[in-house]
């Protein structure tokens, strides 16, 4: 696997391409990595269209859950979305926080920021802001957010521990997060884990579920809970791009679980700005 900076460059380049792809292409590929399936599958993402604030122009089909559905956003809240893409989760969060609240989207890819800003302008939202930044070092002041959300992004980040520390820093005391992400229960073949395409597709960069939850605990969060969990089925016509016939047989026998989980946790009330 590449080093951290090489991974970041690869992810940024790939998601710049994804910003220009159609939702159909993204939703039927490996979390937007593109061109890895000849069939029509909805591999990762959940159905958004019934949620208030949904905007089809902002939906690139890149998510693996519905963190806004579980986030407990209240009117007037300040919400931060990590890896905001074209703005889909931000606009749904804005429907919950209302005109009196504020939503800030952070994304690493300039093309995504540009697309999200265009969408916000079309909607006439003056309380939804998009900033380019690395979520390992957020371009935000401490204790700014009531709620942090993220959808299928942390698995792309090399230093996930730093992200959780940053989430804790920007949350207000008593604030909380709801994050949807890809994790593993079992070990993937090396051919998948070493593939840059599958890393950009959210799979080979995923951690073991227990290790992921331990990172959250180690960062000092309280009341950690898995709000939703579902198994991701990667079709054989995708797997065969990475695995030999013998490896395919092993994969089906061992059945390592690729999971989408939505996780909730709180920052303690007396923990101010750190």
DSSP state letters, 202-214: TSTTPEEHHHHHH
Q: What is the pTM of this model?
A: 0.85
DSSP letter string over 233-262? ---HHHHTTT--HHHHHHHHHH-PEEEEEE
Q: 34 pLDDT exceeds 50?
A: no
pLDDT tens sequence across 94-134: 999 999 999 999 999 899 999 999 999 999 999 999 999 99
254-270 average pLDDT score: 89
Strands (E), 109-209: 128-132, 145-151, 171-185, 207-208
Domains of the chain by residue range: 4-266
* pLDDT band (50, 70, 90) for residue 22: low
User: What integer pLDDT is reported at residue 28 of this predicted model?
Assistant: 47
Residue 51, pLDDT > 80, answer: yes
Kind and range of the H or E run holding 161: helix 160-170
pLDDT at position 10: 67
pLDDT digits (tens, 9 = 90+) for 167-212: 999 999 999 999 999 898 988 777 777 665 565 556 667 889 999 9
Judged against a pLDDT cut of 90, whether residue 223 lies above it is answered with yes
Cα(263)–Cα(71) distance, rounded to whole angstroms?
A: 10
pLDDT band at residue 2 using 50, 70 and 90 as cut-offs: low
2 or 186, higher pLDDT: 186
| pLDDT exceeds cutoff 60 at 37 | no
Give pLDDT, residue 196. 57
Phi, psi (rounded to 5 degrees) for 197: -65, -45
Q: Which of 123-127, 195-199, 228-232, 241-245 has the largest mean confidence?
A: 123-127
pLDDT tens for residues 67-80?
Answer: 999 999 999 999 99
Task: Report the chain's mean pLDDT, rounded to a whole number.
Answer: 84
Greater confidence (171 vs 27) lies with 171
Burial of 97 (0-12, 13-18, 19+ CB in 10 A): buried
Give the residues across from 130 on adjacent strands. Answer: 105
pLDDT at 38: 42
CATH homologous superfamily, domain 4-266 = Vaccinia Virus protein VP39 (3.40.50.150)
Tokens linked to 131 = 């900033």
Question: Using CB atoms within 10 A of its CB, is residue 228 exposed (0-12), middle (13-18) or buried (19+)?
Answer: middle
pLDDT at site 43: 56
């Amino acid at each position: 696997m590449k080093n951290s900076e090489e991974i970041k460059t690869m992810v940024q380049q790939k998601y710049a391409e994804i910003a220009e792809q159609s939702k159909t292409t993204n939703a039927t590929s490996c979390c937007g990595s593109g061109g890895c399936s000849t069939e029509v599958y909805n591999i990762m993402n959940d159905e958004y269209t019934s949620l208030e604030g949904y905007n089809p122009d902002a939906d690139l089909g890149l998510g693996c859950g519905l963190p806004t559905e579980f986030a407990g956003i209240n009117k007037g809240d300040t919400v931060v979305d990590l890896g905001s893409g074209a703005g889909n989760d931000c606009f749904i969060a804005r429907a919950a926080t209302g005109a009196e609240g504020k939503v800030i989207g952070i994304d690493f890819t300039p093309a995504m920021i540009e697309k999200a800003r265009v969408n916000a302008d079309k909607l006439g939202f003056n309380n939804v802001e998009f900033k380019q930044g690395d979520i390992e070092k957020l371009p935000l002041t401490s204790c700014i957010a009531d709620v942090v959300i993220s959808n299928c992004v942390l698995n792309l980040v090399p230093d996930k521990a730093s992200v959780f520390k940053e989430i804790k820093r920007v949350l207000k005391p008593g604030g909380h997060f709801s994050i949807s992400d890809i994790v593993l229960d079992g070990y993937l073949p090396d051919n998948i884990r070493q593939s840059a395409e599958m890393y950009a597709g959210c799979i080979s960069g995923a951690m073991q579920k227990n290790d992921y939850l331990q990172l959250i605990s180690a960062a000092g969060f309280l009341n950690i809970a898995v709000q939703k969990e579902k198994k991701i089925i990667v079709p054989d016509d995708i797997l065969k791009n990475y695995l030999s016939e013998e490896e395919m047989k092993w994969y089906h026998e061992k059945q390592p679980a690729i999971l989408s989980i939505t996780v909730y946790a709180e920052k303690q009330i007396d923990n101010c700005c750190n």
